[in-house]
Every structure is written in structure tokens, then in C-alpha cells.
Amino acid sequence: MLANSKYRKTYPISWEQLHRDSKALSWRLLDMDYFTGIIAITRGGMVPAAIIARELDIHLIDTICISSYDWKDKKGEAEILKSVDGDGEGYLLIDDLVDTGRTAQLVKQIVPKAHFATVYAKPAGRPLVDTFVTEVSQDTWILFPWDTESQFVTPLADRGNI
């Protein structure tokens, strides 16, 4: 994170936690109307969508491809790289996270009748989501497992005065 970043906290998510949280989202969606298919928002929504598709026994999966973030900061305008046909009726729209709501607003214009579900939600984007599992503060940067790797960390005692 950058020193001048608006993010003051990090929240690391392991593969196991992401799987548990995506399965918890599946439990919330299980008793809702039958979904014809899933639309995953790439790239972050692809892993949760795969888990949810398995848990809800949904085999029809499509993607809306949008580029709105790079690895450290927001880009300018969101760019639609691939859309879908239809208004989303009968579909479950999945993303990993709703942050500011910019991507959510754009996607909801494309598929306004889809049920929008995210694993994680921040306060600014939460009103745009129909179903989510975990809320995190707006000033928290979520470290997803596909953005991190395990490596050696020097023990605190060996770091000198911090």
C-alpha cells in the first residue's frame, strides 16, 4: 500500500477463508428463487462464482469482464471488456467485493434484473448489493489469495527497534 493511500488497514484472506466465505454466501442464496445461471464479474468474481456454482448446482456460467483496478490503486474509468446479452433476469451476478460501488453501478446498468451478490462489502458499495457475507471498513484493503504469496518473514526479535 502506498503511504498516501486512503487504505489504513489490510485484511488478508486465505484460500480456505475465501472458500468458507463463498460457501456461506451460497447458504444465504440457497433458499432464494431458482437461478438460471451465474454471471461472474472478472476477475475477482470468478473464484467465488465457481464455488457458488458448485454449491447451488448451477452449470450455466457467463462473465462480464470489467477493468477498473490495477494492483495498487484505482484506474480512471471502468472499461467494459466483455458484456452479456439480456437484462440478467434469472441470473445471479457474483463478485468478490463491492468497494466504492463504481463497478457495481456499471454492471447493474447492464444486467439490472440480476441478483447481485458479493462475498465482501464495504459501506460505500453495500447499498448496491442484494446479498453479501462480510462487511469490512472502507479504509481496509483486502488482500485476496490470488494477489499474495507465502514467504519468509523475519521474526520480530530479529528486526531491531521498530
**Residue 6 counted as domain residue:** no
**Residue 126 counted as domain residue:** yes
**Residue 2 counted as domain residue:** no
Q: What is the pLDDT of residue 8?
A: 87
CB 120 within 8 A of CB 126: no
Residue 71 three-state SS: coil
Q: What is the pLDDT of residue 162?
A: 55
| CATH number of the domain bearing residue 117 | 3.40.50.2020
b vs e for 88-103, b when ≥16 Cβ sit within 10 Å of the residue's Cβ? beebbbbbbbbbebbb
**Catalytic residue list:** 95-96, 99
**Residue 116 counted as domain residue:** yes
pLDDT digits (tens, 9 = 90+) for 114-128: 999 999 999 999 999
User: DSSP per residue over 116-161, as a string?
Assistant: EEEEEE-TTTGGG-SEEEEE--TTEEEE-GGG--------GGGS--
Residue 107 three-state SS: helix
**Residue 148 counted as domain residue:** no
CB 97 within 8 A of CB 3: no
Residues 6+ apart with CB under 8 A from 57: none
pLDDT digits (tens, 9 = 90+) for 1-21: 545 578 889 999 999 999 999
pLDDT digits (tens, 9 = 90+) for 11-62: 999 999 999 999 999 999 998 878 999 999 999 999 999 999 999 999 999 9
**Residue 8 counted as domain residue:** no
pLDDT digits (tens, 9 = 90+) for 64-113: 999 875 545 555 678 899 999 999 999 999 999 999 999 999 999 999 99
- Residue 39 CA to residue 64 CA, distance in Å, equals 7
**Residue 71 counted as domain residue:** yes
Number of domains in the chain: 1
Q: Which residues form the domain of 66? A: 15-134
**Residue 4 counted as domain residue:** no
